Structure 1
Amino acid sequence: MVLFTLDDEEEMDLKKVPEKKLKVLLIKRKDHPFMGCYAIPGGFVDINESIENAVYRELKEETNIDNVYLEQLYTWGEVNRDPRMRVVSTSYMALVNKDDISPKAGDDAEEVDWFDISKKIIKTEDLKVISEIKLENAKRNIIIIYEITEIIEVKGYNKTSKYDIKLVKGERALAFDHIKILNYSLERMRNKVQYTTIAFSLLPKYFTLMELQQVYELLLGRELTKQNFRRWINPMVTKTDKVKKNRAYRPSALYELNRSYIIDEIKNI
């Protein structure tokens, strides 16, 4: 279960709007294999249990969270991905408002915490893209950096990708193949934010347009011009009579997600 959220970065200059950081929830494994390594929350499906029920049971057991909507992401089935036995895993993903949940390590986890996560492209060649994924928890003084080389193969009209993943910084790697799952989750989220309202899940009910733009820029991994962005999202939002006050800068109008836009979005599925 891959849970993403946003948090404000501490800003010393009160005249600046706080920058936002993307975070992912990780647990520290209590048992073998990979004891002491960080991992995505997860577990085994019971024999008389559906996959969906297992998702929420395991999430509750490992993080004490049970009030988020999770969307099925991808199925992972490489032969040697778990040293114990042949294991096929179904991954789920959610974007959540950090204020709405309070993660707490359950019986199956030694620790649970949010990690800053970022992905940036280092180098591009003809059919090769080299990227870096960085995970950081300043409170626990942990930094984990992976270099990911995507090799693109084109056959006719089809394109496939192979990945070479290398740990370049960190005392311990993530457990199992969880860096692959995180990488896939980041790419899926980046694609989906362009044609759905998924980004709004990371914000409170009322937000400023500047805050919304920060979210989109963070998820898309690029800067957006203010004019073009506001023209793009205009049908998605409704202006309220509320304002956000701050002593450092003038009050800003607050907006909310346009419910009629969601209804139209569902009709077009």
Structure 2
Amino acid sequence: MGENKMINKQGLTEEQFLTTYDASKYERPSVTVDMLIFTVTEEEKKNYRKLPEKVLKLLMIKRGDHPYMGQWALPGGFVQMNESLDEAAGRELKEETNIDDIYMEQLYTWGDVARDPRTRVISASYMSLVDSSTLDIKASDDADDAKWFTVSCKLYQEQKTVTEKGHILQRLFKLSLSNEEDILSAIVKTVKTVEGKVTKIQREIIESNGIAFDHAKIIEYGIDRLRSKIEYTDIAFNLMPELFTLTELQQVYEVILDTELLKANFRRKTADMVTETNEYTKDAGHRPSKLFKFNPNWTNISE
């Protein structure tokens, strides 16, 4: 880029303006990144003839210091002045959990004024889907623990009010996170206001038990995005090993969407996304099933 020679109202060139610019003129909020790391794992088999149940899990960090000491939070931390948001997310993930080099996408920026009791903190949230069998998770020094929680988010109340220009849809979601030692929960209210062509969605935490900051809201939003993206992208394959059966793939879709799918419909919908291999499962108690792999050259033809 060439130097800008234009003169502003004060008679300064861009170079002169920048040398005299006072960065303290505006207060600076702190910026953090928070990561939603999802995986799908199999619960222990109680009966070897039954296929193991799959569950959606989320990685959480137990806070080792104030604020919210002893509560569970998403992995994350403060962005440094010399790094991008993406770089900060990658660095924090490596520092806090020992996870390296995974795909992450930025979801949303959270900026409520009082969301952090320390100071004004704006957070960019990221989402990642991982095959947990390939990961070695460990907690960092300033965290007490890093653990996978089985996560569910269920709609349990809905109310629609018709207005003059559209409608208001209020929903209450029950968020539950659990493992062998801990049970966390929250209730998140979403209010969708439709006025003509304009739609607004607001989220509010009604109650939160054991989940730090406003992270219950971030988790509910992340699951909502995950459910919509799985319908039209290949995001689910980040959760799969290299080779898998079509039944395993369907189970992953079902656990994320929290609904049973018709086998024929599912196989038709995902036919382009997979490639058949010549390999089969070797599993005691079951007939061998053909193994498939992801087809990176599939084309998304929306129905």
SS of 2:77 mapped into structure 1: coil
Distance 1:227 1:144 in 2: 37
Where in structure 2 are the equivalents of 1:138-217 lying within 5 Å?
A: 138=180, 140=181, 142-167=182-207, 170=209, 173-217=210-254
Amino acid in structure 2 at the alignment position of 1:241 = N
Matched, 1:130 2:172: yes
The structure 1 residue matched to 2:120, chosen from 75, 81, 86, is 86
SS of 1:229 mapped into structure 2: helix
Distance 2:191 2:81 in 1: 38
Where in structure 2 are the equivalents of 1:23-42 lying within 5 Å?
A: 23-42=57-76
Q: Cα offset for 1:249?
A: 1.4
What residue in structure 2 maps to residue 226 of structure 1? 263
Where in structure 2 are the equivalents of 1:98-109 lying within 5 Å?
A: 98-109=132-143
Q: Cα offset for 1:22?
A: 0.3
Amino acid in structure 2 at the alignment position of 1:64 = N
Distance 2:200 2:237 in 1: 31
User: Any conservation in 2 of the 1:29–1:36 contact (CA below 8 Å)?
Assistant: yes
User: Any conservation in 1 of the 2:155–2:174 contact (CA below 8 Å)?
Assistant: yes
SS of 1:194 mapped into structure 2: helix
| Mean Cα deviation higher: 90-99 or 29-38 | 29-38
Amino acid in structure 2 at the alignment position of 1:162 = Q
| Mean Cα deviation higher: 55-64 or 207-216 | 55-64
User: Any conservation in 2 of the 1:241–1:253 contact (CA below 8 Å)?
Assistant: yes
Distance 2:39 2:98 in 1: 16
Moved over 4 A (4+): none
Q: Cα offset for 1:159?
A: 2.2
The structure 2 residue matched to 1:257, chosen from 282, 291, 294, is 294
Across the aligned residues of Structure 1 and Structure 2, the Cα RMSD in angstroms comes to 1.7
Task: Quote the sequence identity (%).
Answer: 47
Where in structure 2 are the equivalents of 1:65-76 lying within 5 Å?
A: 65-76=99-110
Structure 2 alignment gaps of length 5 or more? 1-34, 161-168
SS of 2:231 mapped into structure 1: coil
Larger Rg, first or second structure (1 or 2): 2
Q: Cα offset for 1:2?
A: 0.9
Q: Cα offset for 1:121?
A: 1.6
Per the normalisation by structure 2, the TM-score is: 0.82
Structure 1 alignment gaps of length 5 or more? none
User: Any conservation in 2 of the 1:245–1:251 contact (CA below 8 Å)?
Assistant: yes
Distance 2:246 2:254 in 1: 12
